[in-house]
Each structure stands twice: as structure tokens, then as C-alpha cells.
Structure 1
Amino acid sequence: MLPLLQDVRRRAHQVVPAPALDYLETGSGQEVTLGEAEQAWRDWRLVPQILAGVGPLSSISTATRVLGDVVATPVLAAPTAYHRFVHDEGELATARGVAAAGSLMVLSSRVTVPLEDVADALRAGGTPWWWQSYLVGERAVTAGLAERAVAAGATAIVLTGDTPYVSVRTRTASGPVPVDEEVLAVNMARHVPRGADLSTALAQAPANLADIRWLHELTGLPVLVKGVLGGEDAQRCLEAGAAGVVVSTHGGRQLDRVVASAHVLPDVVEAVGGAAPVLVDGGIRTGIDVLVALALGADAVLLGRPVVWGLAAGGAQGVGDVLGAVTADLAHGMGLLGAADVAGVRAARHRVVPAGLRR
């Protein structure tokens, strides 16, 4: 983990109330998946190309394009819930930090301020954003939120596919997650049918392949599926109309002991075969982790907990600092690898090998 991330994590742990901190940091089951996520990126080794003529560090470009959106960095902000748990301004501050870093924000449907206000903050920074969608008990809630996201300027939908219901999470199993209905009602209440119970209407509901096309037809936007952990599932999603996939273990918060994102990424990239973007999250804590992900074929990566640590520790500035530090570390690693831009890293797939293996 980068020193800056270690510092913001320490400061976040000092200021975030215990129930919210447990919600942020918990994994499911015995937290095996959570515990393995960071190490899994360190299971890969890079083979640099020397005398590559990449020029000075200032000439290294981390800019890239993902699904048509141009960003200054392939290090994006993952969808994470309930930012007002850790900062009074919630997702508004996160949005300003993402904009300052020239990144892209995937806005969680569990956003705790009006989504249109977040969209305005991102638009002011010239920052693209995507909307994360769950299927919930009342389909009208999912549809209404997605339609509002489109009207507010979202450029893609990210359907979370690994959560037919919420798992038992280790550190919050003995007590309720600190979410009150007022927070949820900020965006969702208007879409719940009159007389319906809010908690029932918003409970997770299983999604299926047909929901990919349903969301696309509803919004007119490309739909990525998040939670893919195998090549076969990636192919199934694309055949059902997905415009891309996100390799993700949901932060180690759903099924425990699933394969680490870093380990399964090559299989997903091979199965997709360049037909659609492949993004990845899970345990990425340095720019070298990002470098490995790109060299394995990912188009971009997403940071979850580190962004929230930055928000808790320093608001918008903290978020921007986290994304900026990881991007700077990536640029430094790119030059040492012998790649002047992101395309050059992604073309270097023969130069990343499992630890202990030589080519």
C-alpha cells in the first residue's frame, strides 16, 4: 500500500464512528477473500523493456478512453455506498475530488445526497460519470433512479450482478448497519409506490441476464456488468447485451473464498477477446498494482475503500490526493516498464508473468 494510502486509512480510522467504520471495512464470512485481495496483485511480476526511449517522466501519459469517456487516468472511483457516513458533504465532496484528479466516478445507487446535485458537481469539473444499479424489490425504484441518472448526464450504467441478496458481513453481523430511512429517502422514496414499506421495496432482488437488455432499452446507455469472476460469465454477459464487464469480488463482501480479481483477470480478458472493455477492482493499493492490471489486459481499474478513506480523512482534497498518488505511482512505473502511454502498457501482456516464472 502506498504511504499516502496508509496515512489516509489511519486518519479515517481515527475520525469515522465505529459502526460506520465496521460497515466500510468488513468482509463476509471469515474474510478470506478480503484478506487475499491485495496480495493477489503481488503474485505477478513485470519484465521491463530497457532502452525503450520513453522520454522524461513528465512525458508519460496516463490518459485513456473508457467506453467513449476520456479521462486523465485509468484509476477510477468505484461505486461505494453511504458517503455521508464518513463526511458531512458525502458524495458531493467525493465528486469534487474525482474531478480534480481528472478521473471518472461510478455513482452508487446508495448515494446519500440528491444524485442530481452530485451530477452538477461532476459536470462543473468536466468529469464523466456512470450510474451503478441494483435490482430491488420494487422494479419501479430501479427504473426511476436509472432514468433520473440519464437525465442528469450519466454516460453508462453499471449493473451489480453478484448481489441477489446481501451476505452476512463479519463485523456488522451482530448489529444493524447504521442506515436510517431518511438517508435512503433522499433519492429513493419518490419511486416507492404509495403505501409500500420502504425497507421491503429497497431490498435486494436477484438480477438475471435479461435485465442487461432491460436496462439498456430503458436508458439507451451502455450497460456494464459488475461482479464477473470467470470467462464463461463474461461471455454470457456480452451475449446478453453487456457493453463491458467489471471483474470484482465486491470488496470481499459477498461470497467469501471466491477467486481474487487479480488471479482471474487474465481469464476474463481472454474470454472477452477485445470485444468490450474489461475493468477490475479489488485490493488495488499502488500504481504498480494498476500497472499489472493494465498489462494483464484491463482497460481501467476502480478504487473503492481508498477513495472513502480519502473522503473521511480530507474531504474532496483527500479523494483527489488518493487518486492522484496512485496515478503518479502508475506513471512512474510505466516509464520504468518501458511504456509511454496506457496503450503501450496494454500491449505488454507478454511482459507480466506469475511470480517465480521466467520467460
Structure 2
Amino acid sequence: MDWTNGTSTDFILLGLFPGFGHPELLILIVLLIYTVAFAGNSVLILLIWLDSRLHTPMYFLLSQLSVIDLAYISSTVPKTATNYFEGRRSISYFACAAQMFFFLTLGLAECILLTLMAYDRYVAVCNPLRYAVLMSPKVCLQMAAAVWTGAALAALVHTIYPMHFPICGSREINHYFCEMPAILRMSCADTSVYEMVKFVSTIVFLLVPFILILASYTLIFLTVLSMNSRKGRNKALATCSSHLMVVSLYFGQAIFIYMTPTSSHTPEQDQVGAVLGTIVTPMLNPLIYSLRNKEVLGALRKCTGRCCHCEHCLFLQCDAQKCFIFNFKSVRNQLKS
């Protein structure tokens, strides 16, 4: 099949690990992960929305993280699967730019949100008396607005700039979606100035948030160690450890891809990092927060118990109606006799 029959501005996505001998196996695994991630994040959002006990700043921010993860994995996997099953690899210039914009927006939003989640835990553990003021509903909404607005503006800059570099020779992207390093690698212009801009941006959106998160948890651990209550200490550590696992997964791969020069790592290494960040992490986040969180598990049991109770009530109501009809017929027969 000829994949290069598109217009001159079309790009060719070579797909997920094009050198791998069994692409159908990769697609099946990716679709399985996508299904688990979609279901896990959707259930978590639903539980936080339905259960009033989860209407707190921590779970509000967690619901925002689940929304980001849902959109994050949906910005790449459906297009990859569609291209595979349709036997085509082309993506238009504008579709590539849109995919890059949404991918960067969601990635930057997750960096900022993880930092705010660490701040929320810091206030809850280290300054609990002022928690209601510092993390009021109004403040939480302002935080969410700042996350989405700041991420979108930064992503717009980092989409327009790379997409205007001239492309020389092949327009094949050795990746399964349009990512900035892959686009830069095809350019025949001098990208050193933009590489410096990218490096500064990654310091602002990756390194600074990561340092703030580490500082927050250093203060949290110092406060937790000084607690007299063993139960309170264990609860604080359990909540913080879940967030630290998510931070390690996400920031590790992002720092590797975006804080090192594009020429210093291969396309295969970029793909491994991208898979960890955009496919594996969105699947693991709801599992980490639900399996290690008693309040989320309690909300899940409450919700499933309510559903089972409703079914049980309908069954009892049906039995009562049958019983009433049976008794009515018995009385009528007795009167006739």
C-alpha cells in the first residue's frame, strides 16, 4: 500500500515501534490498557461526583487529574488504533498540529496539577488550622482555571513554533503520534534557538514543579515524623505515598524526553518514554489512588451496595405483589366455597 499519496503537507506516522515484528500484539495490548484506563478514570470521576464524603479539595484535584488522564490517553491511542485497522498512516498538517497542541496542553496541565496536589497535602498536614481558608472551594476553582489556562497558552507557543520549521526530505515521523521532538528531528533548519527555549520551558514546567513537590514532601515528612499519633502518621504517609508514586512515574519520563537535547536519544527511546507517560501512567493513576485509598474503596462499596440494594428492593417488591395476588385469590375462593 502506498502511504505517501497524501498532499505535500501530510505527515506519515510510522506507528508504535515500527521495527517490532508483531504490531497486532502491540495494538491489542495498547487497546487493553486504554480500556482499563478509560474505565478506571471514569469510575473514579463518578465516585467523586456521587459520594458527598469525597467533596473535598484533595478529591476535587484528583478528579481533575482523572479528566486529564482520560483526555491524555484519548489524544493518541484512538488515532494510532484507527490508522492500524484502516491500513493508513498519513496525518494532515492541521491534524498533526492539533494533536501536538492537545498533547502538550494535557501534559503541562498534569505537571502543574501534580504540584498543586502536593501543595494541598502540605497544607493539610503542616497547616491544618488554615486548610479551610487556603483550600476553599473558590481557591480550588481558581487553581483549576489557572492549570488549564496556563497549560493551553504554553502549549500554543510550543505548537506554533516547531510546526513552522521547514521539513526537508522525508515527512515520516518515527512515532505513533505527532510529538515535538519527532517534528524537530525532521527539520532541516537550525533549531538551536528553539532548543534553548524548550530547555527554559522545561525548567519552568518540569524542574521547578518537581523541586516544589520534593520540598513540600520534605516538610510533610518532617511534620509526620513529629506526630504522636501513630494512626495519623500512617494515614498521612499512605495518602502521600500514592501521590509520590504518580509523580515519579510521570516526571521521570518527561524530564528524560524534554530536558535532554533531541539528538541525545533515539526515536525508540522517545517512544518508550511516551508510552510510559501517555499510556501506562493514565492506566496506573486511578489504580494507585483507589487501591491505596480507604475512602475511595469505601465510596465504591457504598455505590455497589446501593445498586445491589435497589435490585434487592425490586425483587422484594415483585415478590410482595405476587404474594398479594396469591392471597387475594385464596380469600376469593374461600368466599365462593
Same structural fold, with TM-score higher than 0.5 when normalized by the shorter chain: no
Whose RCO is larger (CA < 8 A, sep 6+)? 1
TM bracket, shorter-chain basis: under 0.3
Q: TM-score, normalised by structure 1?
A: 0.26
Higher helix share: 2
Larger Rg, first or second structure (1 or 2): 2
